[in-house]
């Protein structure tokens, strides 16, 4: 279509389809062709389609086009996404674009940029329906009709006073339900018990609130209850996804990173992984010293060596199961700090069952390689103790770290692995000493 | 308040606060007291407050109260949540309650119950604004005013024909924007390119679509494009959370479970964990046989034994980092099956850096314990090979399992650990043979 310059078809392409779908169809085009197609869309539609490309692509397009053109597009992008984009652009480009924007938009961008990444302020959009208490239902609809097109969401209307203090909230559903009673004022309709987020609040805690109260959007206020903006449901889903992905990575002892896995620099990735890998390495080094310490026992009973990896990995695996279960349960709000005794009690039961079962298998195998049936007992006794220790360590450390104000996901698994490794060796040799005399 | 029977205060308590907050305040009360307080709320408000308790609490309340009362409440609960609740109740209670509901509600419940757990059909609600194409904007508002209160969401209006086939969609935002042009019909306003989900579709794929297109709700249709219901954003957040939590658990080799961590039966939990722990145990058993096979080498060079745990855990840790990164990147859509060559190339680079660094430390330590500097070389050479193998295994297996149609999270880590353990021993002894002659 582009090659043939079919203007009306291109306009049709930009308007008839869902903007997400239009963007999908253009994935294969190169940046400048996408930009040319976008010129056929109306300005608000253009921003919407543009918003469905991934950030890397968006930045590439913005960087290539003349600032006058990009400024026009940026004006149409929702305030929260716009700030993220601008933060990704090179400083010179930003300096070229900003002066081309209207003053109010520019001030808005500057303000949003001042909130640190990861706070409610950085996540919010300032394009929100703010109305006065004294408006009637009828007047509210007239007002909304004028501004609806430029707002990201009109599903909640926020009622503010002359000083921009948040007084209450009216949902569009309530407003529509009251259509037969047009003289009611918003002040009479509004709910005054509004669930809010503070601008400096951590984004994960905001996401939790939105989830708990099943909200479509949450208003962001400053400490003086001034209404600053709102955070919408789509940003909340992103936060939840980010938070849980970071958890999974921390559990595997990787420092989380912002970039895409395929795009992050190899040196950065090596650093993010190497950090914890090195800590784990030093923990494992301790086992070498422990084994060296028990040199004599191992020389006499050479067959004990064969089971070292089995014992260590059984302890490590059961411990990492326990730690992961507790960490995910804490993230999901199922386990609180005060639940430690209950968690420990249950874990003891589970670990005895698991340990008992695996010990039985271990005993059976050991019977074939140990010098006597009594000697073979070393293996099941060790396995049972190591698995119970691993499980109890695994549930205790995350709860302990959380109580100390540390991130349970980040700290637990390396520590659990380190402790269980060394404990495994010590238990093993001491059980052997007792059983074998 | 209850003790004093202060009726008006209780009514106030149920209406003035946000329903979620009212529920929170009542957390401490026992079931029958909560129920008594709820009687002071209006019926739709009552269902909303009730909906903010967790499922266990809801079931406990429903089980204790007379069916006539519970049926009244159930009528008010949104259709999708209601079905989940009913599936949690004992069969006798359900049999008592169902006949007390109006026929249409009963049929609705039966229909939703017929969709298997985990599909779009089981997640959807049937309470949705369906309007005819020929209505004008003004008529649509009149219609909405009557039904808005009973619907979970009115933020999208679905346009269906006489046979309930989905024709298009109008957002309330568009409708409000068109208030000054009341004679427009919905048919003229609607977008016809509607993003939909099929009733049998997997809930994770539905969540992905909703995220990609930033939707507030997605319509669910059958294969004949009949409009069945919608899935709302709050259910999508739940699905995303559930999916990622399951991923984290599978990575730690735990079969995911539906229940809360503190509430699941210990026998079930032991089974869910024991299954993979046993598979891992058998994999680790192989190392025992391998070590036994190399008995002679280990007897001559006793110091090699000391580094066994270090080598195995270095390989295991780096492999599990790689596997977790690839699994989370695939879940987040960053890595596709076709990216394998690129992923492998990058991983080779990272693993050489990580392996090189840890080998250097290992060599330094080995110098102190090995009989000669040449002998000490066994340790860094082994560490480097094991870490590179661990990383490459770690990224390959998840992609391979996904290509085979298996769940990458479930299968990868146990296999990676098993392969790396046994490979570690084999590499270790063979490097030792070459270096030590």
pLDDT per position as a tens digit, B159-207? 999 888 999 999 888 888 888 888 889 998 898 888 999 998 999 889 9
Note whether residue B256 is domain-resident.
no
CA distance B124 to B120: 6
Report the percentage of chain B scoring pLDDT > 70.
98
Note whether residue B288 is domain-resident.
yes
What pLDDT is attached to residue A37? 82
A95 pLDDT above the threshold of 70: yes
Put simply, the chain A residues between 30 and 59 with a CB less than 8 A from any chain B CB are 52
Looking at the structure, tell me whether residues A301 and A407 fall in a common domain. yes
CA distance B144 to B171: 12
Looking at the structure, tell me whether residues A159 and A181 fall in a common domain. yes
pLDDT per position as a tens digit, A222-260? 888 889 999 988 888 888 888 888 888 887 777 887 777
Quote the number of domains for chain B: 3
pLDDT bin (cut points 50, 70, 90) of residue B68 is confident
Mutate to test the interface with B, among A20, A248, A304 (most CBs of B within 10 A): A248
Gyration radius of chain A's alpha carbons: 30
Minimum CA–CA partner of B276 in chain A? A317
Compute the mean pLDDT over every residue in chain B, rounded to the nearest whole number. 85
Cβ contacts (< 8 Å) between B280 and chain A: which residues? 313-314, 317
Q: Which of A56, A43, A53, A57 is nearest to A14 (CA)?
A: A43
Q: Which of A352, A326, A297 is nearest to A409 (CA)?
A: A326
User: What does the pLDDT average to over B144-173?
Assistant: 86
Cβ contacts (< 8 Å) between B248 and chain A: which residues? 244, 247-248, 251, 324, 327-328
Cβ contacts (< 8 Å) between B281 and chain A: which residues? 310, 314, 358, 361-362
Tokens at A354, concatenated: 């698991």
B2 pLDDT above the threshold of 70: no
A253 φ/ψ sector (left φ>0, alpha ψ -120 to 50, else beta): left
B348 in contact with A, Cβ within 8 Å: no
- Examine the fold and report which residue of A68, A91, A118 is the final residue of a domain before the chain moves on: A118
Q: Are A248 and B247 within 8 A, CB to CB?
A: yes
- Asked if residues A123 and A231 have their Cβ atoms less than 8 Å apart, the reply is yes
pLDDT per position as a tens digit, A261-287? 878 888 888 888 888 888 888 888 888
B24 pLDDT above the threshold of 90: no
CA distance A293 to A309: 18
Q: Are B241 and A237 within 8 A, CB to CB?
A: no
SS (HEC) of chain B = CCCCCCHHHHHHHHHHCCHHHHHHHHCCCCHHHHHHHHCCCCHHHHHHHHHCCCHHHHHHHHHHCCHHHHHHHHHHCCHHHHHHHHHHCCHHHHHHHHHHCCHHHHHHHHHHHCCCCCEHHHHCECCCCEECCCCEHHHHHHHHHHHHHHCCCCCEEEEECCCCEEEEEEEHHHHHHCCCCCCCEHHHHCECCCCCEECCCEHHHHHHHHHHCCCCEEEEECCCCEEEEEEEHHHHHHHHHHHHHHHHHHHCCCCCCCCCCCCCCHHHHHHHHHHHHHHHHHHHHHHHHHHHHCHHHHHHCCHHHHCHHHHHHHHHHHHHHHHHHHHHHHHCCCCCHHHHHHHHHHHHHHHHHHHHHHHHHHHHHHHHHCCCHHHHCHHHHHHHHHHHHHHHHHHHHHHHHHHCCCCHHHHHHHHHHHHHHHHHHHHHHHHHHHHHC
| Closest partner CB to B305 (pick from A174, A305, A358) | A305
B163 in contact with A, Cβ within 8 Å: no
Q: Which uninterrupted H or E stretch holds A198?
A: strand A197-198
pLDDT per position as a tens digit, B326-368? 888 888 778 888 888 999 999 999 999 999 999 999 999 999 8
Q: Are B173 and A328 within 8 A, CB to CB?
A: no
B350 in contact with A, Cβ within 8 Å: yes
Note whether residue B255 is domain-resident.
no
* Better-predicted residue by pLDDT, A354 or A99: A354
How many beta-carbon pairs below 8 A join chains A and B?
346
| Closest partner CB to B339 (pick from A253, A262, A288) | A262
Domain hosting A234: range is 130-240
| Closest partner CB to A365 (pick from B285, B291, B346) | B285
What pLDDT is attached to residue B98? 79
CA distance B279 to B276: 5
- Asked if residues A62 and A85 have their Cβ atoms less than 8 Å apart, the reply is yes
User: What does the pLDDT average to over A293-311?
Assistant: 88
Note whether residue B369 is domain-resident.
yes
Looking at the structure, tell me whether residues B177 and B310 fall in a common domain. no
| Closest partner CB to B144 (pick from A52, A176, A309) | A176
Minimum CA–CA partner of A336 in chain B? B262
CA distance B125 to B112: 8
Tokens at A194, concatenated: 């509004």
Q: Are A291 and B277 within 8 A, CB to CB?
A: no
Q: Which of B433, B431, B332 is nearest to B383 (CA)?
A: B431
Cβ contacts (< 8 Å) between B247 and chain A: which residues? 248
Looking at the structure, tell me whether residues A113 and A136 fall in a common domain. no
Looking at the structure, tell me whether residues A281 and A428 fall in a common domain. yes
Looking at the structure, tell me whether residues B110 and B192 fall in a common domain. no
Looking at the structure, tell me whether residues B346 and B414 fall in a common domain. yes
Put simply, the chain A residues between 101 and 140 with a CB less than 8 A from any chain B CB are none
User: What does the pLDDT average to over B282-302?
Assistant: 86
pLDDT per position as a tens digit, A168-181? 999 888 888 888 88
* Better-predicted residue by pLDDT, B131 or B155: B131
Looking at the structure, tell me whether residues A135 and A113 fall in a common domain. no
What pLDDT is attached to residue B105? 80
Percentages helix, strand, coil for chain B (3-state, rounded to 5) are: 70, 10, 25
**Which of A315-324, B73-82, B384-393 ranks highest by mean pLDDT?**
B384-393
Q: In what order do the strands lie in the sheet with A217-221?
A: A197-198, A217-221, A227-232
Q: Tokens 């006073």 sit at which residue?
A: A161
Query: From the CA of B189, how many Å to the nearest CA of chain A?
Result: 11
- Examine the fold and report which residue of A59, A94, A118 is the final residue of a domain before the chain moves on: A118
CA distance B207 to B212: 9
Q: Are B154 and A144 within 8 A, CB to CB?
A: no
Q: Give the CATH number, domain containing residue B384.
A: 1.10.357.20
DSSP B379-422: HHHHHHHHHHHHHHHHHHHHHHHHHTTS-HHHHHHHHHHHHHHH
What pLDDT is attached to residue B255? 81
Q: Which of A247, A383, A404, A414 is nearest to A320 (CA)?
A: A414
Q: Are B312 and A317 within 8 A, CB to CB?
A: no
Note whether residue A256 is domain-resident.
no
Cβ contacts (< 8 Å) between B180 and chain A: which residues? 145
Looking at the structure, tell me whether residues A277 and A399 fall in a common domain. yes
Q: Which uninterrupted H or E stretch holds A353?
A: helix A340-369
Q: Are A287 and B299 within 8 A, CB to CB?
A: no
Tokens at A279, concatenated: 């800590």
What pLDDT is attached to residue B336? 85
| Closest partner CB to B309 (pick from A145, A287, A342) | A287
Q: Give the CATH number, domain containing residue B88.
A: 1.25.60.10
User: What does the pLDDT average to over A397-421?
Assistant: 82
Q: How is residue B87 annotated by DSSP? A: H
A4 pLDDT above the threshold of 70: no
What pLDDT is attached to residue A411? 65
Query: From the CA of B273, how many Å to the nearest CA of chain A?
Result: 7
A163 in contact with B, Cβ within 8 Å: no
- Asked if residues B112 and B127 have their Cβ atoms less than 8 Å apart, the reply is no
Q: Which of B418, B424, B392, B397 is nearest to B314 (CA)?
A: B424
CA distance A312 to A299: 20
A349 φ/ψ sector (left φ>0, alpha ψ -120 to 50, else beta): alpha
CA distance A162 to A158: 13
Minimum CA–CA partner of B351 in chain A? A270
Q: Which of A302, A246, A306, A256 is nearest to A276 (CA)?
A: A256
| Global ipTM | 0.76
Query: From the CA of A431, how many Å to the nearest CA of chain B?
Result: 18
Looking at the structure, tell me whether residues A321 and A200 fall in a common domain. no
B3 in contact with A, Cβ within 8 Å: no
Looking at the structure, tell me whether residues B181 and B301 fall in a common domain. no
What pLDDT is attached to residue B1? 62
Cβ contacts (< 8 Å) between B328 and chain A: which residues? 245, 248-249, 261
Note whether residue A245 is domain-resident.
no
Q: Which of A80-89, A350-359, B186-195, B263-272 has the lowest mean pLDDT?
A: A80-89
pLDDT per position as a tens digit, A140-176? 988 888 888 777 778 889 999 988 899 999 988 888 8
B349 in contact with A, Cβ within 8 Å: yes
Tokens at B181, concatenated: 């042009």
- Asked if residues B161 and B221 have their Cβ atoms less than 8 Å apart, the reply is no
Mutate to test the interface with A, among B174, B248, B257, B350 (most CBs of A within 10 A): B248
Query: From the CA of B23, how many Å to the nearest CA of chain A?
Result: 10
Note whether residue A247 is domain-resident.
no
Looking at the structure, tell me whether residues B93 and B182 fall in a common domain. no
Q: Give the CATH number, domain containing residue B160.
A: 3.10.580.10
User: What does the pLDDT average to over B22-27?
Assistant: 82
Cβ contacts (< 8 Å) between A332 and chain B: which residues? 241, 245
Cβ contacts (< 8 Å) between A240 and chain B: which residues? 237, 240-241, 244
Note whether residue A154 is domain-resident.
yes
Minimum CA–CA partner of B356 in chain A? A274
Tokens at A398, concatenated: 């995350």
Query: From the CA of A173, how many Å to the nearest CA of chain B?
Result: 6
Cβ contacts (< 8 Å) between B332 and chain A: which residues? 241, 245
CA distance B235 to B207: 9
**Which of A240-249, B101-110, B412-421 ranks highest by mean pLDDT?**
A240-249
Cβ contacts (< 8 Å) between B325 and chain A: which residues? 249, 252, 254, 261
Cβ contacts (< 8 Å) between A346 and chain B: which residues? 262, 266, 269
| Closest partner CB to B306 (pick from A16, A280, A288) | A288
């Amino acid at each position: 279509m582009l090659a043939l310059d079919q203007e009306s078809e291109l306009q049709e392409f930009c308007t008839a389809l869902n903007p997400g779908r239009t963007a999908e169809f253009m994935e294969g085009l190169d940046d400048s062709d996408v930009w040319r197609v976008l010129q056929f869309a109306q300005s608000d539609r253009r921003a919407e389609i543009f918003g469905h490309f991934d950030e890397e692509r968006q930045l590439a397009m913005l960087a290539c086009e003349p600032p006058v053109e990009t400024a026009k597009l940026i004006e149409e992008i929702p305030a929260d996404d716009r700030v993220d984009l601008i933060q990704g652009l090179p400083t010179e480009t930003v300096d070229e674009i900003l002066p081309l924007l209207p003053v109010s938009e520019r001030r808005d961008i500057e303000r949003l940029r001042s909130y640190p990444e990861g706070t409610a302020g950085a996540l919010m959009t300032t394009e929100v329906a703010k109305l006065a208490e004294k408006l009637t239902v009828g007047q509210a609809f007239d007002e909304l009709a004028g501004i609806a097109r430029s707002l990201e969401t009109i599903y909640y209307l926020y009622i503010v006073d002359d000083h921009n203090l948040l007084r209450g909230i009216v949902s569009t559903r309530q407003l529509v339900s009251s259509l037969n009673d047009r003289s009611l004022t918003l002040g009479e309709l509004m709910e005054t018990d509004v669930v809010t987020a503070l601008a400096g609040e951590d984004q994960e805690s905001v996401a939790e609130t939105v989830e708990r109260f099943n909200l479509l959007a949450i208003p962001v206020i400053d400490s003086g209850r001034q209404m600053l903006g709102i955070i919408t449901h789509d940003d909340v889903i992103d936060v939840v996804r980010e938070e849980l992905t970071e958890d999974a990575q921390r559990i595997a002892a990787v420092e989380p990173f912002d970039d895409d896995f395929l795009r992050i620099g190899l040196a950065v990735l090596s650093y993010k992984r190497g950090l914890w890998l090195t800590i784990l390495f030093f923990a494992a080094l301790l086992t070498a010293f422990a084994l060296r310490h028990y040199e004599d026992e191992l020389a006499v009973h050479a067959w004990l060596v064969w089971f070292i990896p089995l014992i260590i990995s059984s302890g490590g695996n059961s411990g990492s199961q326990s730690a992961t279960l507790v960490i995910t349960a804490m993230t999901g709000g199922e386990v609180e700090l005060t639940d430690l005794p209950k968690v420990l009690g249950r874990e003891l039961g589970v670990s005895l069952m698991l340990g008992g079962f695996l010990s039985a298998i271990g005993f059976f195998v050991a019977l074939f390689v140990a010098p006597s049936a009594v000697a073979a007992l070393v293996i099941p006794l060790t396995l049972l103790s190591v698995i119970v220790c691993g499980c109890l360590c695994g549930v205790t450390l995350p709860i302990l770290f959380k109580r100390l104000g540390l991130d349970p996901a980040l700290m637990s698994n390396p520590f659990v692995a380190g402790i269980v490794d060394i404990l495994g060796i010590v238990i093993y040799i001491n059980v052997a000493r007792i059983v074998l005399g």
